[in-house]
């Protein structure tokens, strides 16, 4: 459990920084990181912690075996995923995807107006994942006390370092 908490602290620091830079909610980023990489323990390739599929913008790629839900049935597929040099690079691309990616444009626009995290999670999940339970799982993780505590600690660290 200690390793998981260390990974959570690390991703929370990055998520809080990216939230300040991009507006992408730290809780959303952390929830999808937790779901897609088993709390940071199993990234795709070297460092794809979000299960982001390869696109033209990606310089590094890898092939991974994954489970997708297609027409209500779980199907095992080998797909091409983006890969990254680091957790931070993976998180930065995820934040870009949510805040600038065409599939999430409408959801992001609504979030800019209402700041409803759970509505954003539901809207993103419908496009991001094929699992029909994904939105529920992501919302449950985003609402966990340990997530809120990790984000608060990372924000406190940023504030303390800025004041020093």
Q: Report the distance separating Cα 112 and Cα 133, nearest Å.
A: 25
Q: With 70 as the cut, is the pLDDT of residue 29 above it?
A: yes
Q: How far is CA 69 from CA 35, 39, 94, 132, in A?
A: 15, 21, 22, 8
Q: With 90 as the cut, is the pLDDT of residue 38 above it?
A: yes
Q: Report the distance separating Cα 87 and Cα 105, nearest Å.
A: 24
Q: With 60 as the cut, is the pLDDT of residue 123 above it?
A: yes
Q: With 80 as the cut, is the pLDDT of residue 21 above it?
A: yes
Position 46 scores a pLDDT of 94
* pLDDT tens-digit series, residues 96-118: 999 999 999 999 999 999 999 99
Q: Report the distance separating Cα 39 and Cα 85, nearest Å.
A: 18
Percent of the chain clearing pLDDT 90 (strictly above) = 86
Give the residue among 58, 56, 62 at the shortest CA–CA distance from 81: 62
pLDDT-based confidence at residue 155 (cuts at 50, 70, 90): very high
Position 120 scores a pLDDT of 97
Question: For 44-66, what is the HEC assignment?
Answer: ECCCECCCCECCCCCCEEEEEEE
Structure tokens at 120: 């954003």
Note if 68 is an active site residue. Answer: yes
Note if 3 is an active site residue. Answer: no
Mean pLDDT throughout 48-77? 92
Give the residue among 144, 142, 126 at the shortest CA–CA distance from 134: 126
Position 161 scores a pLDDT of 76
Active-site residue (options: 3, 68, 85, 116): 68
* pLDDT tens-digit series, residues 66-83: 888 888 899 999 999 999
Q: How far is CA 57 from CA 19, 53, 84, 96, 127, in A?
A: 22, 11, 12, 11, 19
Mean pLDDT throughout 128-149? 95
pTM of the complete model beyond 0.95:
no
Active-site residue (options: 19, 36, 83, 93): 93
Asked if CATH classification 1.10.530.10 holds for the domain at 2-42+84-163, the reply, yes or no, is yes
């Amino acid at each position: 459990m200690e390793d998981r908490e260390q990974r959570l602290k690390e991703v929370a620091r990055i998520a809080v920084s990216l939230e300040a830079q991009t507006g992408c909610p730290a809780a959303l980023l952390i929830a999808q990181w937790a779901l897609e990489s088993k709390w940071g323990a199993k990234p795709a390739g070297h460092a794809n912690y979000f299960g982001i599929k390869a696109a033209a913008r990606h310089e590094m790629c890898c092939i991974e075996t994954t489970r997708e839900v297609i027409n209500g049935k779980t199907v095992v597929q080998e797909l091409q995923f983006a890969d990254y040099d680091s957790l931070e690079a993976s998180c930065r691309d995820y934040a870009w995807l949510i805040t600038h990616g065409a599939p999430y444009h409408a959801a992001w626009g609504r979030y800019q107006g209402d700041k409803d995290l759970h509505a954003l999670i539901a809207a993103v999940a419908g496009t991001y994942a094929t699992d029909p339970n994904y939105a529920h799982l992501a919302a449950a993780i985003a609402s966990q006390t340990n997530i809120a505590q990790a984000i608060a600690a990372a924000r406190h660290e940023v504030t303390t370092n800025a004041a020093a």
